[in-house]
C-alpha cells in the first residue's frame, strides 16, 4: 500500500514522525513523505531528531502570502505528486492550511484521505481561526477518521459525515514518550531555580490579546523574582515584536530562539507551570504532571481540562496572573500530577497502520 504522508508545520512533523516510523517498519506500507514547507526550517529541525527526511519539499512559502495563496500553492504541488506516485491513500494530521490542501487534493483525485487527530472541535469558527473551519471541512471528505479520544470520535459521529471512525489515541504521545526517554538519558546540568515555560503563537492572539497577555506575564515575573520565565519565541514577526516589546530586558525573563523538540520536552519535564496557547502542549503535559494555563478562549482538548491538568484562562490577563501566582506559591494545590494522560498510550501510530492495512486492532482507552 502506497501512502502519501503530508505535513507542513512543526507540530505536524512531530505528530507524524512516529506514524512515518511505524509505516516504514510495516512491510505492507510504502510511505512517501511530502513537506509543503509551511514552516520549513522548524519542520526540518523537528524531523532531524527522528532521523527523517522528506521525499519531497514543495517550498510553497513566499513573503506576505495569504491563506488562500498557501492553500492554492500546496494543492497544486500535491496534485502533481498524486499524479506522479499514484498513492492508495493520502494521510495528513491536524488542522492547518496544509491539511486542508492535502484533503482537497486527495478528494479531487478520488484518493481516500486519512485524517490524523480527527474530531477536535470548539464549534467556534473564529477560535481558533482558521483551524476550526479547516477541520470541520476536512471531516466531510475523510475516509479514515483517526480520532485521539472518545470525545473526538463522538464529535465526528454526531456530524453524520461519511468515513469510518477509529479511536487510536494521539500520536503526539508516541513521539513524546520516545523523546522523553532519550532526553532523560542525556547529562544536562539541572537548573537551580524554578521556572515557568511560556509558549505562544496562535493567530487569534495576535495584536491586542498578546499585548495584554505579555503585559500580564511581565507583571507575574515582577511578582516572582525568584522564578525564571523561559519563552522560546516563535519566528512569526507579529509574535516577535509583541514579545520583545513587553518581555524584553526583564531580569528573570529569558527570550530565546525557537528550541528543538527534545529541548522543549526537557523544559516541560522541569517546569513548575506552563503558560501556553499550544494545542500540542495541552496533550503532552499530562504525561509529566505539570499544570498548564491555556491562554485561549476555548479549547478543543477538553479532556485535559476535565482531568484537571489544564485550565482555561482565556486572554484574561488578570486571571492568568492570579492562577500562575497561586500555583507558584502553593504547588501542593495542583492535585492532578499523577493523572494518566487522557490522550494516548504510545501505540496510536501502530493502530493507524493496522487500520490502513485492514488489520484488527484494539481501540485506545485511557
The set of catalytic residues is 95, 117, 131, 201, 203, 234
Q: How many residues does the chain have?
A: 366
Q: Which helix or strand (DSSP H or E) is residue 222 part of? A: helix 208-223
Selection from 115, 141, 137, 162 nearest residue 16 by Cα: 115
Q: Which residue has 525568584 as its cell numbers? A: 226
CA angle (152 as vertex; 150, 158 as ends), nearest 5: 100
- Within 10 angstroms of residue 338's Cβ, the number of other Cβ atoms is 6
301 vs 278: CA distance, rounded Å = 11
Distance separating alpha carbons of residues 165 and 264, to the nearest angstrom? 32
CA–chain centroid gap for 7, Å, is 12
CB 339 within 8 A of CB 286: yes
Q: Annotate 130-155 with b (16+ C-beta within 10 A) or e (fewer).
A: bbbebbbbbbebbbbbbbbbbbbbeb
DSSP state of 121: -
For residue 78, which of 111, 101, 44 has the smallest C-alpha distance?
101
Torsion from C-alpha of 204, 207, 212, 216, nearest 10 degrees: 80
Round to whole Å and give the CA distance between 302 and 10: 23
Asked if residue 136 lies in contact with residue 312, where contact means CB atoms within 8 angstroms, the answer is: no
Q: Which three cell numbers stand for residue 117?
A: 487527530
The alpha-helical segments, DSSP class H, found in 35-146 are 40-49, 67-85, 97-108, 131-139
**DSSP reduced 3-state for 318:** helix
What grid cell was written down for 223? 511578582
Amino acid at each position: 500500500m502506497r501512502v502519501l504522508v503530508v505535513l507542513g508545520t512543526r507540530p505536524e512533523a512531530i505528530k507524524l514522525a512516529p506514524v512515518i516510523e511505524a509505516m516504514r517498519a510495516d512491510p505492507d506500507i510504502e510511505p512517501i513523505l511530502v513537506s509543503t514547507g509551511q514552516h520549513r526550517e522548524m519542520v526540518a529541525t523537528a524531523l532531524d531528531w527522528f532521523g527523517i527526511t522528506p521525499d519531497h519539499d514543495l517550498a510553497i512559502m513566499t513573503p506576505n502570502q495569504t491563506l488562500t495563496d498557501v492553500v492554492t500553492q500546496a494543492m497544486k504541488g500535491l496534485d502533481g505528486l498524486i499524479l506522479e506516485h499514484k498513492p492508495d491513500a493520502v494521510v495528513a494530521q491536524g488542522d492547518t492550511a496544509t491539511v486542508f490542501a492535502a484533503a482537497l487534493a486527495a478528494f479531487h483525485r478520488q484518493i481516500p484521505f486519512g485524517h490524523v487527530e480527527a474530531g477536535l472541535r470548539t464549534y467556534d469558527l473564529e477560535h481558533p481561526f482558521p483551524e476550526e473551519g479547516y477541520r470541520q471541512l476536512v471531516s466531510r471528505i475523510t475516509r479514515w477518521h483517526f480520532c485521539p479520544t472518545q470525545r473526538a470520535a463522538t464529535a465526528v459521529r454526531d456530524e453524520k459525515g461519511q468515513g469510518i471512525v477509529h479511536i487510536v489515541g494521539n500520536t503526539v504521545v508516541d513521539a513524546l514518550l520516545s523523546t522523553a526517554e532519550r532526553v532523560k538519558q542525556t547529562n544536562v546540568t539541572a537548573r537551580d531555580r524554578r521556572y515557568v515555560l511560556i509558549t505562544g503563537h496562535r493567530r487569534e492572539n495576535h495584536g491586542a490579546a498578546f499585548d495584554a497577555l505579555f503585559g500580564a506575564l511581565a507583571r507575574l515575573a515582577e511578582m516572582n523574582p525568584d522564578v525564571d520565565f523561559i519563552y522560546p519565541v516563535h519566528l512569526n514577526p507579529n509574535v516577535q515584536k509583541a514579545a520583545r516589546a513587553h518581555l524584553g530586558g526583564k531580569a528573570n525573563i529569558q527570550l530565546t530562539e525557537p528550541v528543538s523538540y527534545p529541548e522543549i520536552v526537557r523544559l516541560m519535564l522541569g517546569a513548575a507551570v506552563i503558560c501556553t496557547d499550544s494545542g500540542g502542549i495541552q496533550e503532552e503535559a499530562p504525561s509529566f504532571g505539570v499544570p498548564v494555563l491555556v491562554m485561549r478562549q476555548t479549547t478543543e482538548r477538553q479532556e485535559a481540562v476535565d482531568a484537571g491538568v489544564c485550565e482555561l484562562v482565556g486572554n484574561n490577563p488578570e486571571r492568568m496572573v492570579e492562577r500562575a501566582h497561586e500555583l507558584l506559591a502553593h504547588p501542593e494545590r495542583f492535585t492532578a500530577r499523577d493523572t494518566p494522560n487522557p490522550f494516548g498510550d504510545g501505540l496510536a501510530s501502530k493502530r493507524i497502520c493496522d487500520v490502513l492495512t485492514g488489520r484488527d486492532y484494539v481501540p485506545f482507552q485511557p
